[in-house]
Structure 1
Amino acid sequence: MATTDPSFRRYLPWVVALAFFMQTLDTTILNTALPGMARDLGENPLRMQSAVIAYMLTVALVIPASGWLADRFGTRTVFLWAIALFSLGSLGCAASPTLRMLVIARVVQGVGGALLAPIGRLVVLRVFPREQFLPVMSFIAIPGLVGPLIGPTLGGFLVQFVSWHWIFLINLPVGVAGVWASLRFMPQLRSETPSAFDWGGFVLFSLGLMLSSLALQGLGEHLVSTALSVICLVAGLCAMAAYWLHATRHPRPLFDPALFKIPTFRIGIIGNVFARLGSGATPFLTPMFLQLGLGFSPSEAGLSMVPTVIGAMLTKTLATKLIQRQGYRRVLVGNTLILGLMIASFALIERGTTHLWLAVQLGLFGMINSLQFTAMNTVTLGGLDTTTASGGNSLLSVVQQLSMSLGVASSSLFLLLFSGAPVNRANPGVDLVPAFHATYIAVGAMAALASFIFFQLRPQEGESGPQARAAGDSIQD
């Protein structure tokens, strides 16, 4: 069996780490480049959120099928296809002459990106013995931290001094290296009897996500009539309700409704949705605020985001001790309220704000945001056992991508409504600072509302075990 070959265990973590790096770098490098891309494509920068949402939503749609695809076609085959699609989508993004073509290429890129991390985690879980899983996943998570650290800065420098096309083209040599390494060191693992896939549930669930997201974008951008947007929203909610009814009757549903009988999982998942509506929108809003509102250059905006990542990395070492001392309920309720206030506090940033104060504020946000993600991940997964861990982890990954996608869509809607800016062309003459300030306050209020959900935890609920810590470390935030 391939898993007994020492070379697989020696080099496999590096292969998976490379894939994690590709994915996390791409999700952070784009935000800083959006205003420059908008100028080149002849678009209003306030409409560029569709390039971000298309990727996140595609990832959310494809993740549920990743395990079945690996069992059916083999881990190496699917992993190679994931790298190929991600690289092909990157090339398509670089060659896109319009926003519409860019969105289509981002969808292709998202299909590949959705498979990279889940397949990588699955292979590590099957190749390494249980006692080695957590150390290996901790090693693999390091590139996932490096990507967000250099992504905004690299994106800013590339768009200012070279061309925005290179934020996608740099994925190609990494993809070539990934294909070579996967052919040599990725084992081909598949199930002899793959379980049946819930295609009916997959279609209903995907349809619900797509229609709801399109409705939010339509309401914000006024690209279609309000009536059509409302119809899409109602149809999306109807599809999600139909999926829930389908799941209660299907023998092996896409996501087992029994997961929601676990109190900590139920509260954690719902809390994730609302908390990430605010915190997931901030990395998208802030680079645009710095450039379109405060007049920063792309490279200055990228460098300004570094304290956020440094703050997040520092908090990783303190989060576990704080949670163990104070308990999940107290940490999540208090930190969620602080997170909402922290997001809203960006409305106090004016053109004369010093770089030092901006760095302090962004660093504090990174620390609070990281603590929020760590606590939410572990409380959600801590109550799962071996029979529910896989489905619960997959659903949490989907919810993360979905809620961040909805956060970007809703923040864009607020920004467009508060600015009153036209959506068919760039309008650099409009002072967007008041619109950004109002948007930060609205987004912060949305994030703070999740504290009511986390208040439903009992004081002693949420004891985290090895399964929760391992899954929490492997999920990139």
Structure 2
Amino acid sequence: MDRRARGLALLVAGAFFMEILDATVIAPAAPHIAGDLGVPPVTVNVAITAYLLTLAVFIPISGWLTERFGARRVFTVAIIVFTLASAGCAAAVNLPMLVGTRVLQGVGGALMVPVGRLVVIRTTAKTDLVRAIAYLTWPALAAPLIAPALGGLLSTYASWRLIFLVNVPLGLLALPLARRLIPDVRADTPRRLDRRGFLLVATGTAALVAGLEGIADQNPRWPLAVALLFGAATALILTVVHLLRAANPLVDLRILRVRTYRVTALGGSVFRAVMNAIPFLLPLLFQLGFGWTAAQAGLVVIALFAGNIGIKPVTTPLMRRFGMRPVMAGAVLASAACLIALSSLTGSTPLPLILLVLALSGTFRSIGFTTYNTLAFADVPPERLTGANTLMSTVQELGAGLGVACGALLVRLGASFTEGAEPRFRVAFLALAVLLVVPAVEAFRLPATAGNLIVGRAKS
């Protein structure tokens, strides 16, 4: 990779940093936000979920906007929207206002990250994809390492509002760099926007989130929640039917016929959902169950992401030595074991043991994410990369958002037949471990030679 390509990859990595920071920084501060806004702590998950699922709703049109207006313009506008929305979150006076500004952040993130990643993928040879992904991944990994401590410390010793202002100077710095480094990639003849597909995706996703939040509410309104979930299922089924029949669909589901891509998109999204629920649940467990401060909880959660980063240098050699299938399956099974270990933690568990369990969970989380990200585009033809990137970004964000929502729902369900904070979190962690059966089965069904060429192990 030449110097300009590295600069482009690092700029996009910076965009990932901003997005991931805001996706994870809220969790340790949730009790403080809840106390200030007058809502239960678990309810603050809606601000996290709204952000992530807005990404999922708007990512599908990012490809069309890039074709129509050019990557440079879309990326620049996205940074502006994201930065202004971050300032708006800091000024929120109630939960609906916070959720609204988080939705605006999601709109900016939906147009910022996938467009940048698409430019990197389209301008990088397949033989350099692993290196390009490394450039994208390493700086972005710093965000979840910093976010728990930052969120906890600021909310404990200053104000939770400051956690949203961190991205403002980063956004101001990224603007001139985007104008210089992002190429003006666009289509000569942009395809028409699939408006029906977009409305169906937005309706189904919104109804799904509202239904899950309704069930997880402190006083669930069951008829409304069930009606919303039924409406979501109907809308999403109609979405799939429409996308398979449309001449120019919003997202191309036919790319799922590529086996390695399908495993990454479907099984990988379940894995991502489960893994993203953990950083949301842990700070709440430590504060509500163990009685720790937000600062203590945030600092301890760093162990999770320290394991995430620490294993990175050996992940590619592991894939090259053992192959993608064994490494992916091993990461999923080991993550399930770590969830079972997390369910056994109590307020009297020695701190070194807690740190060890968190570090191991982060280690296998990182291995799993890297294998899925590396395998995703291994067998995708170059002419289908745009559609594949859009669909992958959509299902990844949808999985992350639903993971947080499901985590909150499982805690609430645990409270219905257990007493005390610790038992309800134990139920949530065990249920999440069971969900990992799906990606484990998908991983074992992969061909033995899957991804060998892209990691340089052998010719497939």
Aligned partners of 1:124 and 1:133 also within 8 Å? no
Q: Are 1:431 and 2:420 an aligned pair?
A: yes
CA distance in 1, matches of 2:335, 2:77: 39
Q: What corresponds to 1:279 in structure 2? A: 275
Q: What corresponds to 1:21 in structure 2? A: 17
- 1:388 alignment partner, SS class: helix
Aligned partners of 2:267 and 2:438 also within 8 Å? no
Picking from 427, 442, 445, the partner of 1:453 is 442
Q: What corresponds to 1:470 in structure 2? A: none
Deviations 1:384-403 (A, max 9, x none): 22133332232222111111
Deviations 1:89-108 (A, max 9, x none): 11111111111111111000
Q: What corresponds to 1:145 in structure 2? A: 141
Picking from 273, 297, 302, the partner of 2:298 is 302
Aligned partners of 1:58 and 1:114 also within 8 Å? yes
Q: What corresponds to 1:463 in structure 2? A: 452
The Cα shift of 1:164 comes to 0.3
Aligned partners of 2:63 and 2:386 also within 8 Å? no
CA distance in 2, matches of 1:67, 1:461: 28
The Cα shift of 1:325 comes to 3.4
- 2:448 alignment partner, SS class: coil
Identity %: 35
TM-score (normalizing by structure 1):
0.88
Deviations 1:416-436 (A, max 9, x none): 122249xxxxxxxx8311111
The Cα shift of 1:189 comes to 3.8
TM-score (normalizing by structure 2):
0.91
**Matched AA of 1:260:** L
Q: Are 1:339 and 2:366 an aligned pair?
A: no
Aligned partners of 2:63 and 2:390 also within 8 Å? no
Compared CA separation, residues 367 and 84, structure 1 to 2 (3 A) = same
Compared CA separation, residues 69 and 459, structure 1 to 2 (3 A) = same
CA distance in 1, matches of 2:164, 2:388: 32
Picking from 241, 244, 265, the partner of 2:240 is 244
CA distance in 2, matches of 1:318, 1:9: 24
**Matched AA of 2:262:** R
Q: Are 1:113 and 2:109 an aligned pair?
A: yes
The Cα shift of 1:264 comes to 2.3
**Matched AA of 1:433:** E
The Cα shift of 1:131 comes to 7.0
Aligned partners of 1:379 and 1:463 also within 8 Å? no
The Cα shift of 1:449 comes to 4.1
Aligned partners of 2:14 and 2:140 also within 8 Å? no
CA distance in 1, matches of 2:442, 2:218: 32
Q: What corresponds to 2:70 in structure 1? A: 74
Aligned partners of 1:86 and 1:109 also within 8 Å? yes
**Matched AA of 1:363:** A
The Cα shift of 1:413 comes to 1.1
Q: Are 1:39 and 2:35 an aligned pair?
A: yes
Aligned partners of 2:261 and 2:375 also within 8 Å? yes
Deviations 1:447-472 (A, max 9, x none): 244322333223334435279xxxxx
Cα RMSD, aligned residues only: 2.5
Length, aligned pairs only:
454
Q: What is the 5 A alignment of 1:41-120?
A: 41-120=37-116
Compared CA separation, residues 332 and 172, structure 1 to 2 (3 A) = closer
Aligned partners of 1:276 and 1:447 also within 8 Å? no
Q: What corresponds to 1:213 in structure 2? A: 209
- 1:48 alignment partner, SS class: helix
- 2:296 alignment partner, SS class: helix
CA distance in 2, matches of 1:376, 1:128: 19
The Cα shift of 1:330 comes to 3.1
CA distance in 2, matches of 1:395, 1:227: 33
**Matched AA of 1:150:** I
Aligned partners of 2:210 and 2:228 also within 8 Å? yes
**Matched AA of 1:51:** A
**Matched AA of 1:166:** L
The Cα shift of 1:346 comes to 0.9
CA distance in 2, matches of 1:320, 1:27: 26
Deviations 1:288-314 (A, max 9, x none): 111111122212111112222221122
Picking from 311, 331, 347, the partner of 2:307 is 311
CA distance in 2, matches of 1:92, 1:309: 28
Q: What corresponds to 2:357 in structure 1? A: 361
Compared CA separation, residues 297 and 129, structure 1 to 2 (3 A) = same
Aligned partners of 2:114 and 2:393 also within 8 Å? no
Compared CA separation, residues 405 and 17, structure 1 to 2 (3 A) = closer
